[in-house]
Chains A and B, each alone.
Chain A
Amino acid sequence: MSWDAQYRAGTLLSNANSAPKARSRRNAATLDDSDDERPNPRTNDSDRDVVMAPPSFELEDEETPLQKLMRHWMNERHAPDILPAQDELLASLLDHIRRQSEAVQLLRGEPSTSEEDHIRIMLVQTEVERVKFIVRSYVRTRLFKIEKFARFIMSNPEIQTRITTAERAHASRHANLTDKHFHFSVLQSLPETQSHLDDTPIFMPPMVTQPDESVPVFVHALRECGPIHFPDGSSLNKMTPGYISLMPFASAKALLNRGDVELV
């Protein structure tokens, strides 16, 4: 992945590797100089020019993996339903966290750390903590929904395609435990016709919690998209980037899964 290429191009690891420090410093310095010659050195872009050669990257999107995760994190926080799992993205970021932490450990082990190195280590660690916070909050948000809808998940094959194997296993255990608990504490003493959680007595709401897709969400358009249809029969021809609107989740769902919009 081009991201890894960019990552390797950074100097943190090359310093931490067994290569003599002075040499890698000089290498880094030459790389820096070439940057400085640019009339308008925008560090990030110039770096991309050098390493991220594949044009497909430009076309796809310019989001970094971290920005992607932040978007999915917020989407997940605002969506009433469980969104498709981002296990690959999550795995690559966890891997990245691990490599950064290892690099920091190596740098720390060196006896002659300068003030500059201290600040670098501090910044890298701060970022690792930031990313960990987001990863944790994202996973916990999904966990909350999985526990809430556990029984529904086990009876619905479609929603199971959106969750990871580990999440499915957790849903299954959670559903079993609550089933048993309800059975032994209440249901077993009720008449046969009322002793199941999936009974559907008339005039009563179902007892198995399902995601409510009519919940309104705030949508922020990332690119031009549409048309969008609303439950009341009206529709919107197109949304331009930056368009902000409150609409039922059901209407935004398809756009959200395509990445045309984000929830804010």
Chain B
Amino acid sequence: MSHDRRVLMSLPPSLRTSVTPTELELIASQQLIEIIPLIAMEKTAFISGAYGPLRPPHRAKIPIWMAVNLKLKKKCHIIAPHWLNVEFLQARLNEETTETGFSRLPFRFSEISKVLLDVASDDIPDAEKIRSVLKDLCEARQAKSREGLANLDQGEFSLPNFCSMEINEVRPFFVQSMAILQQLYRESGET
């Protein structure tokens, strides 16, 4: 009974205008990642697809949430995605500080790197250095998005290479700013 009532309740007010970083992590964790399993498992049907077989020490591709789950039980090593290393991120950071646009990064790089660094920092080479480069990268991009706000208009505002978590961070401010601009245009058109 109590279960049914929970389902029937509408969305809580705090979630009505935006999504939470945790929800974005949940979405990003559906992406596949390579692992080295430490246990064997036959091919198994999941709702999102069939995964396995897991045969140590052969690599396998499974969703991130599953890899995190196994990692927490010390049943696998996670192989960092090709972009999660100091070299790649440092190159993006250099681009970020020398060029005007946003550098190209995976759409959900922020969520994925957080999830992986949280649970598998021992599997990722130079995890500490990666953390600090990621932090600089995010700050450089934040500064750019604030500057970009000056170009906001009522019609359309394109943001090439802007990423999922960044969109979520600026959403309230950007959406409201555009709504105000729309209103100003409407009113100046009326008079």
A binds B: yes
- Which residues of A approach B to under 8 Å, CB–CB? 6-13, 25, 28-29, 31-32, 35-36, 42-44, 47, 64-67, 70, 74, 77-78, 93, 96-97, 100, 115-116, 119-120, 122-124, 126-128, 130-131, 133-134, 136-137, 139-141, 143-144, 146-147, 214-218, 220, 228, 230-232, 234, 236, 242-248, 251, 264
| Among all A-B residue pairs, the 5 with the closest Cβ atoms | A10-B45, A144-B10, A144-B11, A143-B10, A230-B155
Chain A interface helix/strand/loop/mixed: helix
The answer to whether B19 has its CB under 8 Å from any CB of chain A is yes
The minimal Cβ–Cβ distance linking A83 to chain B, given in whole angstroms, is: 14
Q: How far is the CA of A236 from the CA of B153 in the complex (A)?
A: 14
Question: Is there contact, CB below 8 Å, between A130 and B26?
Answer: yes
Chain A residues with CB under 8 Å of B10's CB are 140, 143-144, 146-147
Q: How far is the CA of A31 from the CA of B52 in the complex (A)?
A: 11
The minimal Cβ–Cβ distance linking A91 to chain B, given in whole angstroms, is: 14
Chain B residues with CB under 8 Å of A119's CB are 39, 41, 70, 73, 75
* Other-chain residue from A77, A130, A131, A251 in contact with B156 (beta carbon distance below 8 A): A251
Question: Is there contact, CB below 8 Å, between A248 and B182?
Answer: yes
Instruction: Output the nearest chain B residue to A43 by Cβ-Cβ distance.
Output: B61
Question: Is there contact, CB below 8 Å, between A47 and B50?
Answer: yes
Question: Is there contact, CB below 8 Å, between A11 and B44?
Answer: yes
Question: Is there contact, CB below 8 Å, between A216 and B179?
Answer: yes
Chain B residues with CB under 8 Å of A248's CB are 178, 182
Given contacts A43-B60, A143-B11, A214-B182, contact A244 B44 (CB under 8 A): no
- How many A-B pairs have beta carbons closer than 8 Å: the answer is 178
Chain A residues with CB under 8 Å of B157's CB are 245-247
Residue from the set A12, A143, A234, A264 with the largest chain B CB neighbour count within 10 Å = A264
The minimal Cβ–Cβ distance linking B119 to chain A, given in whole angstroms, is: 14
Given contacts A35-B53, A119-B41, A136-B7, contact A127 B182 (CB under 8 A): no
Question: Is there contact, CB below 8 Å, between A236 and B156?
Answer: yes
Chain A residues with CB under 8 Å of B44's CB are 10-12, 120, 123-124
* Other-chain residue from A11, A115, A243 in contact with B45 (beta carbon distance below 8 A): A11
Q: How far is the CA of A70 from the CA of B161 in the complex (A)?
A: 21
Some 7 contacts from A to B, beta carbons below 8 A apart, are A11-B44, A100-B46, A115-B39, A215-B175, A216-B178, A230-B155, A247-B155
Question: Is there contact, CB below 8 Å, between A70 and B30?
Answer: yes
Instruction: Output the nearest chain A residue to B6 by Cβ-Cβ distance.
Output: A136
Question: Is there contact, CB below 8 Å, between A127 and B19?
Answer: no
Instruction: Output the nearest chain A residue to B61 by Cβ-Cβ distance.
Output: A43
The answer to whether B154 has its CB under 8 Å from any CB of chain A is yes
